[in-house]
Amino acid sequence: MRGYSQSGSRFFMRFFMWFAGKEAAMLKECLENVRRTAPLIHNITNYVTINDVANVLLACGARPIMSDEAEDAAQITSVCAGLNINLGQLHKTGVEGMLRAGKRANELGNPVVLDPVGVGVSDFRRETAGRLLKEIRFTAIRGNASEIRALAEGRKTAGGVDADAWDAVTGGRLERDAAFAKAFSAQTGCIIAMTGSLDLVADASRCFLIRNGKEQMSRVTGTGCQLSGLMAAFLASNPGKALEAAASAVCTMGLAGELAFDRMREDEGNATYRNRIIDAVYLMTGEELERGARMELL
Amino acid sequence: MRGYSQSGSRFFMRFFMWFAGKEAAMLKECLENVRRTAPLIHNITNYVTINDVANVLLACGARPIMSDEAEDAAQITSVCAGLNINLGQLHKTGVEGMLRAGKRANELGNPVVLDPVGVGVSDFRRETAGRLLKEIRFTAIRGNASEIRALAEGRKTAGGVDADAWDAVTGGRLERDAAFAKAFSAQTGCIIAMTGSLDLVADASRCFLIRNGKEQMSRVTGTGCQLSGLMAAFLASNPGKALEAAASAVCTMGLAGELAFDRMREDEGNATYRNRIIDAVYLMTGEELERGARMELL
Amino acid sequence: MRGYSQSGSRFFMRFFMWFAGKEAAMLKECLENVRRTAPLIHNITNYVTINDVANVLLACGARPIMSDEAEDAAQITSVCAGLNINLGQLHKTGVEGMLRAGKRANELGNPVVLDPVGVGVSDFRRETAGRLLKEIRFTAIRGNASEIRALAEGRKTAGGVDADAWDAVTGGRLERDAAFAKAFSAQTGCIIAMTGSLDLVADASRCFLIRNGKEQMSRVTGTGCQLSGLMAAFLASNPGKALEAAASAVCTMGLAGELAFDRMREDEGNATYRNRIIDAVYLMTGEELERGARMELL
């Protein structure tokens, strides 16, 4: 029995390593496709982190363009390969541009990402998210655990734009969280990316757990917004592989946070960390991502 | 007589050092209360420096949220512990959100800070400031000397968003400036913070003079806006001690400017200084603030 | 004959060096005039790069003020020495402020710069640019080659906010490009600055070719927007020398990109490069500009 069990575990380890190697190679390929195709990404995003979103898109090899005016949103989207809609600091006057751009992207078959910033905090944000989800087919929804839950369950949250502690994805209930993410994906038809100290990226049948990232990233405003921008670029450059592309964007951002943290000096704080994270995306090679990604299928 | 005079001066020195020690310990406590309570701060602020305001709030241990849409401003404020209203790059469409958020914060008893950026430059900004002061009870007003004077006297200024030279607080007329600040505080019921190369922070009966800061901070856009954000956080985390909290925020920002300047390398300029200032807030300990603050009661 | 040819070439070299020396001294003088006069510059500019525009203006010694509200745009312009209008992320509600500010600046005789970001991408941006050009007298227009051509020829572009490859100014057709720039200057009455890997700065009769800059600047969002801000400051501080002032701004930005690149460390990427470019403007001396500018009359 002992022999059998050993060889069974050996077989499993080999299978696991073959699988993990294949996944890691796929993460690398997704990043390299962004670098190779330099997709133009239309961002309708909040003004707090709009500059960082532009610079992180340039860092990963994509090209950003910003327009939130209803008058030209659809035309801007028409020359782009992907669309990123972010509800942070939402304005009433901006909703029409989101709808027009989203519908145009749908017509073109371009990927569309929704980042429902603070969706549980106000009726206006929740109702706008509901309207967008009804009128636009999103490829992926990326938010923290509270935002995704607020979106799924229509409930309110108290923590502003951060996740409430009880919502966070933690080691203790991974299976339940993965089941929730898959079910919400099945319901919406979108890739669901719940990011935090642990990240889940799911479609209706599979859910990846990603362990990259650093707690200190939460002390830099807009790392989530940046990730949503990256995700639109990764989706645009990797058609037909939405789950893998989304997961690759999440690993890229998380690993950038780790590499940047290692480069911090003693006299540096969150503002320099902000720059170093974007720098790390800029410098990241496919090999680095392949080696550094910590992803597993749940 | 000589003996008496000596022991009188010794007594005074001891009293002064006891008092200064008590004040410095209070500054430290105010910062540590921010770190401990992590207040959620609602910012309605200009888009020039909105990212810096968010990052400096994260640096001091608070949590920022931004919304300037009338539709959800009141609900956002409802989950927050403090509100920061900034008139820089003011939009007509933004005034209603300021009013709703301010009134809601008043109902909740939350502190509200007004930063009257460039209030003396246009009728629109002056009239808006007047309307806000009429309809909202502010806890503190923070501006440069020209802005505070323009607000107090309804007059125009020429220097854009910087203080006109003749308005600046300087060594030569500190008592007159302190009397002005106290009188304006008595009139408005707000803590008055006039900041520049020297800073005054006053309520109706007391005025602190603060000598922290670096001239080069004026070459970084938005250090004033950042300070107003910090002040809202310090007020939120230190209820019942508004003057001390406001002074602690001013010392924190000024000392951060000094520490950041000491960390500058020869090949660095104002953009890196911007980051180093926020980094210095992030790294600042209560002890560092206690030791480095240069504050006296006028 | 050999001797004659040699002395002819010597004479030409001496003349060229005398001329080049005179031009370089003029570039230096233009920068020093900005430092000396500290002009207040009104910017109506996109929110993606608005913070960078403010900081680069502070870096060169000017003072920025931002307002895009029709209600106070004219009054803001009235206390300023120059105006910078940028069409990036254009809003319908912002156009009226541009018109009022532009007309006021024209009345005052202040220089006005137009940066037609992405003008070939949407009807709204193209029509707005057309309207602005009809109602405001611009001193200079600065854009990439695609934007300038789209403006001149009313045609569409595909590359978002970057220049299409076939539009770029390259070594192979400099004379044709220079003739185009001069003709467009003659038609509009504006200095035309077409910037990219090579820069052309032309009035109706002269065209400078500038070889400063680094390819990597295109991986930092907003270096073009920053240059337009600088140009407004240089024009404001150098009345009567618009071509030279515009060329000096272009050399300053390009040389800053080179100096900043030399200061980059191995672990730094585009976000840090962004800061180092602004830092390099801050640190740049007139002598450095005189030595480092690579400009010739075509």
Q: What tens digit of pLDDT does each residue of B246-285 get?
A: 999 999 999 999 999 999 999 999 999 999 999 999 999 9
Helices marked H in chain A:
2-37, 50-60, 70-78, 92-108, 123-135, 145-153, 174-188, 223-237, 242-262, 270-283, 286-292
Of B63, B68, B277, the CB nearest to A89: B68
* Alpha carbon of residue A231 to chain centroid: 5
Q: Considering only alpha carbons, which residue of chain C is nearest residue A263? A: C267
Would you tell me how many other CB atoms lie within 10 Å of the CB of residue B67? 29
Q: A287 in contact with C at a CB cutoff of 8 Å?
A: no
Mutate to test the interface with A, among C131, C161, C273 (most CBs of A within 10 A): C161
β-pair partners for B86: B115
- Cβ(C112)–Cβ(C81) below 8 Å: no
Six-digit token pair at C28?
Answer: 């230096």
Q: Distance between CA atoms of A230 and A113, rounded to whole angstroms?
A: 10
Contact with chain A for residue C90, Cβ under 8 A: yes
Residue C2: alpha-carbon gap to chain centroid: 44
Strands (E), C206-256: 207-210
Q: Is any Cβ of chain B less than 8 angstroms from the Cβ of C287?
A: no
pLDDT of residue C2: 44
**Residues of chain A found within 8 Å of residue C224, distances taken between Cβ atoms:** none
Q: Give the up-direction half-sphere exposure of residue C227: CA atoms within 13 A in the CB hemisphere.
A: 35
Question: Is the pTM higher than 0.80?
Answer: yes
In the chain, the amino acid numbered A174 is L
The helix (H) or strand (E) run that includes residue B235 is: helix B223-237
Give contacts of C162 with chain A, Cβ < 8 Å. 63
Q: Is the ipTM of this complex over 0.95?
A: no
pLDDT in tens, chain C (298 residues): 344 455 556 666 666 566 667 888 999 999 999 999 999 999 999 999 999 999 999 999 999 999 999 999 999 999 999 999 999 999 999 999 999 999 999 999 999 999 999 999 999 999 999 999 999 999 999 999 999 999 998 877 766 777 776 677 777 789 999 999 999 999 999 999 999 989 999 999 999 999 999 999 999 999 999 999 999 999 999 999 999 999 999 999 999 999 999 999 999 999 999 999 999 999 999 999 999 999 999 8
Q: Is the pLDDT of residue B292 over 50?
A: yes
pLDDT digits (tens, 9 = 90+) for B111-169: 999 999 999 999 999 999 999 999 999 999 999 999 999 999 887 776 677 777 667 77
C-alpha closest to that of C70 among B122, B159, B87: B122
Residue C139: DSSP 8-state: S
Contact between residue B201 and residue B113 where contact means Cβ atoms under 8 Å apart:
no
* The one-letter amino acid at C243: L
Nearest to A278 among C124, C158, C271 (CB): C271
Query: C212 at the A interface (CB within 8 A)?
Result: no
Strand order in the sheet with B295-297: B63-66, B40-44, B82-86, B112-115, B140-144, B191-195, B199-202, B207-210, B295-297
What is the token pair recorded at C51?
């913070």
Nearest by CB to C51, from B51, B90, B158: name it.
Answer: B51
Q: Quick check: C122 and A40 CB within 8 A?
A: no
